[in-house]
Structure 1
Amino acid sequence: MSELVAAATETQTHVDPFFDPVTATVTYVVHSGRGSACAIVDPVLDYDPKSGRTSTDSAQRVIAFVREYGLTVEWLLETHAHADHLSAAPFLKQQLGGKIAIGEHIRSVQGVFGKVFNVNDTLAGDGSEFDHLFTDDETFHVGPLEAHAMHVPGHTPADLAYRIGDAVFVGDTMFMPDVGSARCDFPGGDAHTLYRSVRKLLDLPGDTRLFMCHDYPPASRGPRFETTVSAQRSDNIHLNDRVSEDDFVQMRSARDRTLAMPNLILPSIQVNIRAGRLPEPEDNGVRYLKIPLDAL
């Protein structure tokens, strides 16, 4: 075995999570050790809907970690256009560098919500707000770590999972085994499609580490967000190997009809389809978000 191959084989994927209890979102820093390149997955910008104020406490925790470990940010990876938190990717890019990336199907999400928020005059709609649009199974690197983008639609049509080394960041395809799966009733979502996307992930080797985008824990435990393919196939309450596609679709469709919209869907979507960029200030120096009435 050559020295180069040996070094690649021995490279470990380090994953450091940052849990935001307000939105139940987990931001990850993925790297191969101190002084290495890194990717930041699903960063959170704090937003108080009552005051309309943003803050960067969650992002500052990530910045402090990256600087302490001497990491170089190469990628700011979004698994999808989130409906439950605003992205801090532009702020982190400004502070740390890196390219903001998402799946190429973000264009279809922009098409739908550009009309909902009537922002087609300020939204290109071709995904160019992002620095890079991944295609399905596209290969990229985080320093020495080989990575793959996996198109896993169903929750939304644009969802991606990122496989980096032996770690997979699954976005909202599924949650911890005792929580189950994400809703499929957003525009372009589909329970049949989500089931097939999850099976694609669960065909990976059993010891593959899976990292959730969110955790909504039962009262019996605190937040957890790492599991394995084997654990999901055995124990996921919605998506284990004993659940058929038809059974899942029936359960998911009935469950989705009972769910309210996420608390932050209106500010989140209109910001996140712009790659996390806030609207430009108006002539009084203030930025404004829209609230469409009777539109959703």
Structure 2
Amino acid sequence: MTLNLDHAVTGVGGTPIQTLPEHRVVPDGPFSFVVGLRPITGDESPMALSRRTLPYAFASADSFGDLTVDFDDEAGQLDVSAIVRNTGGKPTDIDVPLKINDNVIETETVSLQPGTKTRVSFEQRVGDAGIFEVTVDSLPPRLLTVPQISLAGEWLFHRGDDSSWKEPGLDDSGWTSVTLPANWEDHSDYTENQVYGWFRKRFSVPTEWSGHALELPAGKIDDVDETFFNGTKIGQTGSFPENGYETAWSEARRYTAQPETINFGSENVLAVRVYDGDGGGGLYSGPVGPITATD
């Protein structure tokens, strides 16, 4: 004998007719529920018992879930939404608070029947710069970094290899301006194999981000890289020839700069040393940014 205990069941379909969308069960986030078992007496009808509707208060489930946080940097608009469920046994009004930096900014109230759910959305404008903790009710908050700083676009490039090229005070005025991501064969006609090259990019970090580490998506690099933030090494992927060459051309880089290495409120320099074994070379693909704050 097999006993299946299900939180919810999709409607019955068949070939060639599939279940209609309104009868499909689509998971919207983590949930929990409780199952109770009891024997039936001889004078009870199993068919009659199967038709009963038990109160939802018998089950345990999360009232809020599936938090989404999006930000339109150009419009300066924050879009937040979450799923809200009535986990009780009676129709009820549920207050849904939007919280930014642990302050309730706006509250929506929804009326839900027992066992039903809906998605509640908010639109808010935030300041021009800052780190914002955003959530709905008591869901784990998301860190929002404003403004969004992309690492795609204009960089400086130089063929060859020199350890001093990582230094933030380097005079790089003679370097070639290139647009990344792109193979260096395309942006600089650098077609040789088993060669080195360096990239540098300057950008400002807002004072309002002070105290936070920064995650820097640095894209896919062919083949090996060593990355520096204001002269401090923050990561390496793959191995250079001097340590036994190993390519990492297909791996997307994501490195973290610690607060003590960051010039908040002024200019910073990201420098990337690259070795190309064969084929394409350089910072050839994204994601290249945006920079985000992390605790």
TM-score (norm 1): 0.24
Tell me which protein shows more strand as a share of its residues: 2
TM-score (norm 2): 0.24
Q: Please identify the structure whose Cα radius of gyration is greater.
A: 2
